[in-house]
Structure 1
């Protein structure tokens, strides 16, 4: 949503005096003003055209400003519209509540012309910069995907050629020549795996979100069984506590589970038995899941590196991998309003935590 010369502002206020004063101030700066005296009137206006910013009074008939703001922030079409509350100068509790439910700023009554224009312009500039960053991020993501996709095809061709060479000329190679060909084969596999992870990372950020009811117990259990079949001889104690159903994207949540459990299985490979435990607790706004293991762990001094692409705390000789998995997890969660963090100690295991907003899965 680019900001044209005529910046559109929707004022929602049941006070004619406040509307008139705000309109007079803002029209001087070439703002286009639309007015609604109630939440219902504002919703009807929003259906026809989305404004660049909303000035919202706290006290209104039918629905107060807080409930209306919450309604906007829960709607995917309207959640990005900056909301500036209009409130009395001594109403500190209203100001706190406004920020808590997602408002970007507030202006106190009676309005000071310079302050009102400055706050509105600040929010418009922030919105434009956010949009520019999002567009740049999408362009970079698209570029990364294209490069990774284009590189994969010739690499697969090289891999097939090396495979044919080893099959057809195996008896003709000297020991050194065979070792060289096998090294080329292995490095080709490694680079192909890195490209696959980059494509997976791009997919996690570009896939359209589809929110559905998810049985998290089932997904964790099925994902663990799929991964365990790759290492059937290992002794693993997998504890899965009763987990809640959630509202999230099923494909992305499956990918999230695959990355988390793959890490837990990888870093417990030297433990006998390996112990992996999955739990969940609920806070006021979030469901917080944890996946704890008794594996290699890590030094918490370097924890900030873990969610960056290609950052690793263990050498490839110790544990295979490209250093993309945790970055994929963070990206999946951030797109759905959550986040991830991790704690650990060297040789004492690690705990991967992730949060998702509490949503009414039963209503889906």
Structure 2
């Protein structure tokens, strides 16, 4: 548990604002990890028209990135069960800090900033017990680790922060161990949850699915302007079970689960890879690379539009709706059908597209 004195000290140290901003690197709209034609792994910054603003080498396969709220800086995370993250200066392309998970921990591929960008929060696994942890790192101190708090679940995957520094954590419920690679070790006992956590580790609210959906791993998160949280799920039961793969939650209320019709749910193969809201919060969408589908829902009515796109996974808010990426190097705007924005020959986009 983080020491209260250290935490308060880090908050006070956040007073000085960085001089450089994202405008200094060409105002990119998105970040995305990918594999290039030579098999090397990279992190790209993309403008609204799909133009590449920068490309930075990664040592191994990336998963997602946490963008600093003001400084042109991003923390790129290795794919689970990776043990390193790179703090990248997106102006110079230099790796300014390399984070190593503490002994007995590994990262889950996601992070979020709080305290005006001074504290980075990372989702982690305590390997010997399987308990979820949130690592806390001080940017002001050169990304020194200053403590950790519990995630109040097993397998914390994606993490978001709200404007009042509440952490929203997707506890997937799946126990893993690096010695077993990506094997899932506790499927019969899974208990996924959506946890709202104060910076000092206090559990403010918890959402747990009905017992019949206890194998529906809560994995990825998005937040609407009104603070509604969208969570994407991955079913660990039979792929023929047409379970809901998208949930919406408002603090103090019961979760609302959304589904398409039976045929479309079956096409998704029980797997939602990413989730995003439109900038105005009226639409929310999930992707399935396994099913080659995007399901876009009207938040108010639950009406769904299905869009077909092979190997689609990354999705983020765009200037006039949403934008998605696929494993074939494609980047597209989601209109009545996917409309190409750009194509990166030889590039294979990874799971997530991060809006700035």
TM-score under structure 2 normalisation?
0.24
Bigger share in helix: 1
Bigger share in strand: 2
Larger radius of gyration: 1
